[in-house]
Structure 1
Amino acid sequence: MPQLFRFFTRHSTTLFFPMALILYDFTAYLSTDMIQPGIIHVVRDFNANVNLAPASVSLYMAGGMALQWLLGPLSDRIGRRPVLITGALIFTLACFATLFATSMEQYLLARFIQGTSICFIATVGYVTVQEAFGQTKAIKLMAIITSIVLIAPIIGPLVGAALMQFTHWKVLFGMLAVMGLIAWLGLLFSMPETIKKTDQPFSATAVVNDFKNVFRNRIFLTGVTTISLSYIPMMSWVAVSPVILIDDGGLTPSEFAWMQVPVFGAVILANIVVAKFVKDPSSPAFIWRAIPFQLTGLITLIAGNLLMPHVWLWSILGTSLYAFGVGLIFPTLFRLTLFSNDLPKGTVSASLNIVVLSTCAACIEVARWLYFNLGGRIPFHLLALISGFLVVWCLAKLLKRIQDRDNMLAVNIENS
């Protein structure tokens, strides 16, 4: 028993904490992905309009934005550990609450609360990983975490579709609640504290000043814009693909689930490449090599659907190619943006996530409007194409500003 205790203590930060965080993150992803094949059944179960189906994702994203302003500064002052542990408990209770929903409004409210898990994971959990490890190790560890977590969009729809053949969709949320409880217990016993608590009071003025300082940083602004635009094609696909493939395409929930495998499998493959084979993932040369994959995928979306408008497989192929390109550089973009200044990282991460999630939530609604009101897949995919070309422009500016900053620091060191 003493040896087991010493082993747990020695490896709690390097092994058990990442495992608990992965389970929490994995379960949060599953809360969207596992129910997506049955979202049309949820809507019909509550006698609601099918147009509300994508709102399950957009409200989840809105929930992920709601507490960012609070959690980042709060974790900078009272510590990362109590904030993340509380978030895991809130998510677990919200999953249990879904079991008692009797209307679409109640279901969407529960989804909103479940979405706050994004606040805790991205603003506190990921920042703890970045603070506990050096740059290269943190980037590769985040790639590993992302690879494992993104199995959820692959197996989630498959498991959800299979389970809904013989059980009610609410049972899925009961399973998620149990998984969330296990993750909460894991964090409770293994999460390290990476900051020293300060006597600085939690005041509105101090919080506002911290956020102002973050948004005055040009590297941060360019980085967060690049990340936000990179998310748009993927998140809009997650939200609207059930309507495209099931409601309009005639696929069964199981067939829909299999169609998501190449999309999220591409992200996992990209993260494996980064974690196992890339020596310096922050190298500009490597970052630029990922861009052709993204642009090829986006062009395939438009060209394929124009040439063969009745073959929706072009949407799968194009989105998969784009996903591979994004997966190669996303951990690096997050790291570069997070460490764009010397301000408290909880506040920086909160600022980043506020912009990214609000952009995603808004663009999901725009994508939904384009699909339902302007003629289907072509207008819908044009949004992704425009976002992709803007990513290239913003990425060039981001790398230039980082290079200028590093050159200036080198000159100052020489002069001193």
Structure 2
Amino acid sequence: MQNAPTRTLNRTTLMFPLALVLFELATYIGNDLIQPAMLPITQYFGVSTTLAPSAMSLYLLGGACVAWLFGPLSDRYGRKKVLLAGVLFFTISCVLILFTQNMSQFLILRFLQGSGLTIVSAVGYAAVQESFEEKDAVKVMALMTNLSLLAPLLGPVLGAFLISHISWHWGFVFIALISLISWFGLKQAMPEIKPTVHEQKTLPELFKGFKAVYSDRHFLSLAVALPLVVLPLMLWIAISPIILVDELKLSSLQYGLFQIPVFAGLILGNIVLIKVVDRYELGKTIFVGFPIMLLGAVIASTALIWPALVIPLLLVGLTLVSFGEGIAVSVVFRSAFASSELPKGTVAASMSMLNMTCFFVGIEVVRILYSHFHMAAYLLMSIVVILIWFTFPRRALIKEMQKRKKQA
């Protein structure tokens, strides 16, 4: 375990998560600002528009492929050193993409940029969980989520502006600048969380921790709830440019405006979570969030029956999906993270790899199915993903909450 003095939430201790969320914002904008521009980018490189979602799936896969490294490294050498190195690597990769000459080079750089997602989840989130008391950590995570949601709120609109008036290249310049500012903020505000002598093991020994983590069925049952709660909205981000612009013939600006109420629902859900987390047993909001998500997915799917109402039905349904995610996701993360006693860098990295692998597979499956079933592929996949939570992950959560009661 790391030497991490638990701190209470105040203006001084809040500076570290604010600096971290600025980098998280950069990694999210690295997707949300670029996705609206992917159709013009495929045209720019002279390739099929069906490759547009691959820019996001490879971005996520890049994060999954390096999570195994960053988590154990941060356990061994300290969170701060690894986090700062990762932020700098992400910044450099955003600059290098400006010089790509073809789609293959572009996708390779997108893969490398995905490391930023892992730096946030496997190192940054672990440091936040270790630095704050349990319910303060949930509040900080919810607050960070709200601030990072500026990316999906503003990203599509800014992306549409780039398409219409400037060039997609400037989007990566903007992302690199945000990332660099975050690097300076983290250098100043992030606490030094150094490993104990007990954790000074060889890297092969540290990697064995992954086997122990993934052998814990209870942990896996809790951890799989995180991709389940996030995947419906993640799939929407990846596939929505094709659905809204190609299939439903909205303009780039209309595409951007459509996303605002959807992600406003996520922000509202996080605000509700912050307000109620002290009143109820940790985990209760998850039992509310998933049914709301299921209701939203069903409403959105009725657009397949009433095509004349496709826009309002999608809008209402997806807003409910995002609201349900907002009141559940931070607690889902905490429940899984706290359920394992292994080094937290390894635990966070294991969760990150699981999440991003699920995101990559989900996006690629929907991308392939879309060519045959169009919008129905996304809508029905979302319902299936949400329904999975009502099986073994729900039972694992009930078991974890009963265990907490006995310990209390």
Task: Give the TM-score, by structure 1 length.
Answer: 0.91
Verify the 8 A CA contact 1:139 1:281 in the aligned structure 2: no
What is the SS of the residue equivalent to 2:278?
coil
What is the CA distance between 1:200 and its match in structure 2?
4.6
CA 1:305–1:312: 2 relative to 1, 3 Å: farther
Change (3 A) 1:281 1:358: farther
Deviations 1:152-194 (A, max 9, x none): 1011111221233221110111111111111111111221122
1:11-410 to 2 correspondences below 5 Å: 14-198=13-197, 200-280=199-279, 282-308=281-307, 311-373=310-372, 375-406=373-404, 409=407
Question: For the residues of structure 2 that align with 1:81 and 1:340, how far apart are their CA atoms?
Answer: 24
Q: CA deviation at 1:110?
A: 1.3
Q: Any gaps of 5 or more consecutive residues in structure 1? A: 1-9, 411-416
Identity of aligned residues (%): 34
Contact kept, 8 Å, 1:13 with 1:191, in 2: the verdict is no
Q: Distance in 2 between matches of 1:18 and 1:283?
A: 21
Equivalent residues, number: 400
- Whole-angstrom CA distance in 1 between matches of 2:369 and 2:315: 19
- Are the equivalent residues in 1 in contact too, given 2:283–2:335 (CA < 8 A)? no
After TM superposition, give the deviation of residue 252 of structure 1 in Å: 1.4
SS at match of 1:311: helix
Q: What is the distance in 2 between the residues matched to 1:202 and 1:316?
A: 51
Provide the secondary structure at the position in 1 that maps to 2:341: coil
Q: Secondary structure at the match of 1:14?
A: coil
- Partners of 2:30 and 2:330 in 1: CA distance: 23
* AA at the equivalent of 1:291: F
For residues 273 and 59 of structure 1, what CA distance do their matches in structure 2 show? Answer: 33
**Does the 8 Å CA contact 1:61/1:357 hold for their aligned counterparts?**
yes
Give the Cα–Cα distance (whole angstroms) in 2 for the partners of residues 154 and 403 of structure 1.
Answer: 34
Q: Which residue of structure 1 aligns with residue 5 of structure 2?
A: none
1:277-301 per-residue CA deviation (whole Å, 9 max, x = no partner) reads: 4424653443322233111101112
Q: Kindly provide the amino acid, as one letter, of the partner of residue 109 in structure 1.
A: I
Q: Report the TM-score when normalising by structure 2.
A: 0.93
Amino acid at match of 2:163: M
* Runs (5+) with no aligned partner, structure 2: 1-8
| Aligned residues of 1:305 and 1:312 also touching (Cα < 8 A) | no
CA contact (8 A) 2:71 2:346 kept: yes
Change (3 A) 1:394 1:324: farther
1:77–1:198 contact (8 Å) kept in structure 2: no
Cα distance, 1:310 vs. partner? 6.9
CA distance in 2, matches of 1:277, 1:201: 40
Which is worse superposed, 259-268 or 304-313? Answer: 304-313
Separation in 2, partners of 1:219, 1:279: 25
